[in-house]
Amino acid sequence: MESGMISVDKWSSGSQVYFLTHLHADHTVGLSSKWSRAPLFCSRVTAKLFPSKFPGFDLSLLRVVEIGRWHSLPLVSPTSGSATTVSVMAIDANHCPGSLMYLFRGEFGCMLYTGDFRWEKSSNTVEVGRTILLDALKNEKLDILYLDNTYCNPRYSFPSREVAAKQIVDIITAHPKHDIIIGIDSLGKEDLLLYISRTLNIKIWVWPERLQIMHLLGFHDIFTTKTSLTRVRAVPRYSFSIETLEGLNTLCPTIGIMPSGLPWAVKAVKGNGNVFGSSCSTSGLNKSNGNMDFANGSKTHEPNGDLRSVERYCEYIYTIAYSDHSCFAEIHEFIELLRPISMKGIVSSSPSYIDPHYFFGHLCGTKQAFWRLHQKLDNEERLEKVDTIEIKSTIGGTSSVAGRKRKRDQYDFLGRVSRVSLLRRLGHGVRIADI
DNA sequence: GCGATCAGAT
DNA sequence: CACATCTGATCGC
Q: Give residue-wise pLDDT tens across range A291-305.
A: 333 333 333 333 444
Higher model confidence: residue A189 or residue A265? A189
Higher model confidence: residue A373 or residue A288? A373
Cβ atoms < 10 Å from Cβ of A267:
19
Is the separation of the CB atoms in A180 and A233 below 8 Å? yes
Q: Which residues touch strand C (CB under 7 A)?
A: A 24-26, 95, 116, 150, 185-188, 236-238, 260-263, 265-266, 279, 281, 283-285, 313, 324-325, 347, 349-352
| Distance measured from the CA of protein residue A239 to the C1' of nucleotide C7, in angstroms | 12
pLDDT higher than 90, residue A423: no
Nucleotide closest to residue A33 (CA–C1'): B3
Q: Given pLDDT bands bounded at 50, 70 and 90, which one contains residue A267?
A: very low
What is the total residue count of chain A? 435
Q: Given pLDDT bands bounded at 50, 70 and 90, which one contains residue A426?
A: low
The pLDDT of residue A242 is 86
CA–CA gap between residue A86 and residue A194 (Å, rounded): 39
CB-proximal positions of chain C, under 7 Å: 1-6
pLDDT higher than 90, residue A3: no
Minimum mean pLDDT range among A131-140, A235-244, A343-352: A343-352
Higher model confidence: residue A429 or residue A270? A429
Which residues on neighbouring strands pair with residue A74, listed in sequence order? A85
List, in order, residues 6 or more apart from A95 with CB less than 8 Å away. Answer: A22, A115, A116, A117, A118, A148, A188, A324, A325
CA–CA gap between residue A102 and residue A114 (Å, rounded): 6
Cα–Cα distances (Å) from A226 to A186, A190, A192, A205, A229, in that order, read: 19, 18, 20, 7, 6
Q: Given pLDDT bands bounded at 50, 70 and 90, which one contains residue A428?
A: confident
CA–CA gap between residue A234 and residue A211 (Å, rounded): 11
List, in order, residues 6 or more apart from A236 with CB less than 8 Å away. Answer: A183, A184, A185, A186, A207
Nucleotide closest to residue A27 (CA–C1'): C4
| Distance measured from the CA of protein residue A285 to the C1' of nucleotide C3, in angstroms | 15
Closest by Cα among A315, A267, A271, A269 to A291: A315
Nucleotide closest to residue A238 (CA–C1'): B10
Q: Given pLDDT bands bounded at 50, 70 and 90, which one contains residue A339?
A: very high
Q: Which residues touch strand B (CB under 7 A)?
A: A 29-30, 32, 34, 237-238, 240-241, 421, 424-425
The pLDDT of residue A287 is 29
| Dihedral (CA of A49, A54, A60, A66) sign | negative
Nucleotide closest to residue A236 (CA–C1'): C5
pTM value is 0.79
Average pLDDT over residues A259-281: 38
| Distance measured from the CA of protein residue A31 to the C1' of nucleotide B3, in angstroms | 12
Sheet containing A109-113: which strands, arranged edge to edge?
A71-76, A83-92, A100-106, A109-113, A144-147, A342-345
CA–CA gap between residue A33 and residue A59 (Å, rounded): 10
CA–CA gap between residue A49 and residue A350 (Å, rounded): 28
